[in-house]
Structure 1
């Protein structure tokens, strides 16, 4: 019974492998060496082959003219022509192909490359079989039908047995005459340049349509591959380790969906795995293990970059990758942080920060290294994220960053420290920030001290207000200092505020300072502050009188409410 149920699963896996082999073949042909699409296709092919070989042993494929068979069932078919892998192998005499356990990534890449460039061979006698023979594969076997032997099949082992003889005979061969292809110069032979039909290469309507169909077929086969893997996951509890073939295979499926910007596919994988965890069919945390293995910073960046107006055509309408990333946030924080470091676009950084902040805080161990980063925006983003951590371990690092050379970072440090409340070390750092050379830093620090400080911070604010340069500071900063001082000192602040708004005998303070003092008085409850405002409302100076009247009205409305 097990054999009957296992055979269809094996064939479906084999079909997925063949579809991915075709995809790798196509990408190697279409893209330049080293292109990310080529690497992704080869990695996915390696993952699928490894999963099959570890689960079922050697993969044996029968090669027919336009299809590949596994256990007598068709697992690959395509229109006969140069894009049909079965046709390419059958044409050159290959009648069967097998992959064996222990298969190495470099063997997979070499085999796919041989297929991709078989039509580029200039010498008609240097066919696919010769190219494969030269590779001397250790874990790939193939059988060849030799027409000179009446169509009998030669195993690769028999070909290897002939290798030494052929090489020895080649060493004995000495060229005696010049060939008709051109004159000989040293060891190089001049050949006539071949004409390339550029028009034929550019008119891809007829040649690329079949390849586009393969993309759709491959997408369906990835789904089928996922279904098979989920069946295995539900029946093989021992296969859920981080390095187990099952986890690697599921991560490969996630890779493929992510590379295709297929958010529905990604959410499908996550939903199935989480459902299986709830049902007890796989251990808790297995879905996170798969996602953490597959979601990289590069893929995060590509998923989010597709949100823009110039999104790749693969991105569907209503495309919202951030919703998926929020669902997997607990497992992909390192990838998101790395993507945040790499992101050059400001809007992309804002999206990443919003996603990271949506999870209720990030571990300090993730953020501490970023706080020391030399790039100001990396440090600032890490400081911003630290506001949701509230881990005392990170406080010394924030206090160190409070001395960062870039004021944008220092401002963010003050905002973040404000979320840590009235801890003595926090208040000490905020008090030091009152002396910062940047007005915005001083303003933020004063406001924070007004919310969290005590009598010590009251005295520190008063000392700054009494400085000779205070009157010349920006209006927002003056407002912040006086409001913070009034909030901490309450009625004790009235004498100082009265001195600020009243005219002096030989000098008059700037109107901005006098107005700020009146607004600060309006925040102090009690008769003494109201009396001071009524005195200001009787002033002979119209601007002061108007500001005081507005402050009194605000005070009365506040008392009534």
Structure 2
């Protein structure tokens, strides 16, 4: 049976497990047998190939370029199950413990429609903090469905008891003027009844119609008293509209205020009142209302969110960051992150101050937002984030430096290679590889040739060789071939790991120059070396045949 066929059958076992673990309790023999079957198949593949990487598309799952699963169904579609939450690649690594496999299967079997309305597969996998199961998430989805552990939610609940203090701290830190001025005049029962009746008869843009009329009246008003009264009515209508999920009303109001400024429509006193009205839309009070309707399930299209964000000013950033840590469901967080990713372009330093938030999950979101913005001026803030005490934040900061950074961040990333946490070190290796300069290459080569390199775990050795294989230079190929051939009398197990990792790198480079040496060891008695050699030979010959 070919490896591809093994993978196909393993995926079918995963689908079966997804169903069985929903039906049977943990103490049922079927439950235990299901886990054993999947684990046995996965470990068999890992024993022969070292790792199993699956590429995820909407309706397909691929292994080494071949389709191993396809379904056009909307329900019970394993590819779509992962794809819809942003997972684009899933990798199982050799050494996978049975308990981690069981945790993965239990996550896979969750009925998200009935059991965990506010979570997704990425969130739950992040909570498990898998060591041998890795995944790559589409950046836009990652921002949408940020990973929050249960304790993080508990922290948020506790924090809600001291909301005013946190928000006050933000305002003090950012040096922003506190909201003032707009006296929101409550509409009378008759006024509200009229609005509701109109909305019931024709729900489209009735709030906007009323706001339009109030702006028309403002043009004919006289004196500060009338200006305040009318802008107060507009503010009341805006609150009413946002409670109905009508964000268009806020966009319309902000555009009218902007128009009045550029065209000098109103006199000085009216302009002051409109400035206060704009301050209301940017205020913590309005942002809180927006957060509440988002948590209740309100959704807005991307164009509307972009327009809304572009009309806000930087004073809205602190309350938006604050509310980001309070929201309960992923779509709501996605909306706020989308707004901040656009609004933040106006003021990177203010966004970056969110990195000081005491909640790790907020800091991680801010890092993602800075990556989404893509302004290289944020790099100086991100270099500090790699010292954050939470490794999840560290890893995200390192990854972002790899995507956004240039050669000037390499000293910081090089220091991360000495972190006590292996996962942080692995993230640093990949980030250095992404920057891809000659200095990057030298840093990786220096580590590979260091005396203590052989003491690293096999997974870490393999990652180094995988990254250095991006440079297909003759000196890299020469080093890999020498390390592949290297023999020693002492610490032979560690040396076999180096040779196996070097074979893995040679397979990635795809150089025919290494084929002769690889062929000689394709039947090595050492299982790890033999598996990597055979896989490297297959990759090189397949590439040659395709060429």
Relative to the length of structure 2, the TM-score reads 0.52
- Name the CA distance, whole Å, in 1 between partners of 2:182 and 2:387: 50
CA contact (8 A) 2:242 2:290 kept: yes
Cα deviation code 1:275-317 (max 9, x no counterpart): 999999799xx99995553243444344344345xx3xxx7xx
Aligned twin of 2:307: 327
CA contact (8 A) 2:500 2:532 kept: yes
* Cα distance, 1:504–1:494 mapped onto 2, change above 3 Å: farther
Cα deviation code 1:119-150 (max 9, x no counterpart): xxxxxxxxxxxxxxxxxxxxxxxxxxxxxxxx
Q: Secondary structure at the match of 1:537?
A: coil
CA contact (8 A) 1:289 1:331 kept: no
Q: Secondary structure at the match of 1:508?
A: helix
Deviation at 1:446, TM superposition (A): 1.0
Cα deviation code 1:361-419 (max 9, x no counterpart): 45212223222334433333322222244445433332222222222222121122112
Deviation at 1:538, TM superposition (A): 5.7
Cα deviation code 1:53-92 (max 9, x no counterpart): xxxxxxxxxxxxxxxxxxxxxx9897xxxxxxxxxxxxxx
Aligned twin of 2:212: 227
Deviation at 1:329, TM superposition (A): 0.7
CA contact (8 A) 2:341 2:373 kept: no
CA contact (8 A) 1:371 1:401 kept: yes
Aligned twin of 2:473: 490
* Cα distance, 1:431–1:489 mapped onto 2, change above 3 Å: farther
Deviation at 1:431, TM superposition (A): 1.2
Aligned twin of 2:357: 373
- Name the CA distance, whole Å, in 1 between partners of 2:468 and 2:431: 11
- Name the CA distance, whole Å, in 2 between partners of 1:421 and 1:476: 25
Q: Secondary structure at the match of 1:435?
A: coil
* Map 1:516-531 → 2, pairs under 5 A: 516-524=501-509, 526-531=511-516
Deviation at 1:500, TM superposition (A): 4.3
* Cα distance, 1:279–1:393 mapped onto 2, change above 3 Å: closer
Cα deviation code 1:136-165 (max 9, x no counterpart): xxxxxxxxxxxxxxxxxxxxxxxxxxxxxx
Cα deviation code 1:11-52 (max 9, x no counterpart): xxxxxxxxxxxxxxxxxxxxxxxxx9xxxxxx9994449xxx
Alignment counterpart, residue 437 of structure 1, candidates 420, 436, 443: 420
Alignment counterpart, residue 363 of structure 1, candidates 320, 325, 347: 347
- Name the CA distance, whole Å, in 1 between partners of 2:484 and 2:388: 37
- Name the CA distance, whole Å, in 1 between partners of 2:247 and 2:460: 48
* Map 1:241-260 → 2, pairs under 5 A: 249-260=233-244
Aligned twin of 1:397: 381
* Cα distance, 1:45–1:528 mapped onto 2, change above 3 Å: closer
Deviation at 1:470, TM superposition (A): 3.8
User: More deviation in 429-438 or 248-257?
Assistant: 248-257
| Bigger helix share | 2
Cα-Cα RMSD: 4.7
Relative to the length of structure 1, the TM-score reads 0.50
Specify which structure has the bigger relative contact order, considering alpha-carbon pairs within 8 angstroms and separated by 6 or more residues.
2
CA contact (8 A) 2:182 2:280 kept: no
Aligned twin of 1:294: 281
Q: Paired residues, what number?
A: 351
* Cα distance, 1:436–1:215 mapped onto 2, change above 3 Å: same
- If you compute each CA radius of gyration, which structure gives the higher value, 1 or 2? 1
Deviation at 1:229, TM superposition (A): 1.9
* Cα distance, 1:257–1:457 mapped onto 2, change above 3 Å: same
Aligned twin of 1:548: 533
Deviation at 1:549, TM superposition (A): 3.2
Deviation at 1:490, TM superposition (A): 2.9
CA contact (8 A) 2:251 2:311 kept: no
Deviation at 1:532, TM superposition (A): 3.6
Aligned twin of 1:352: 336
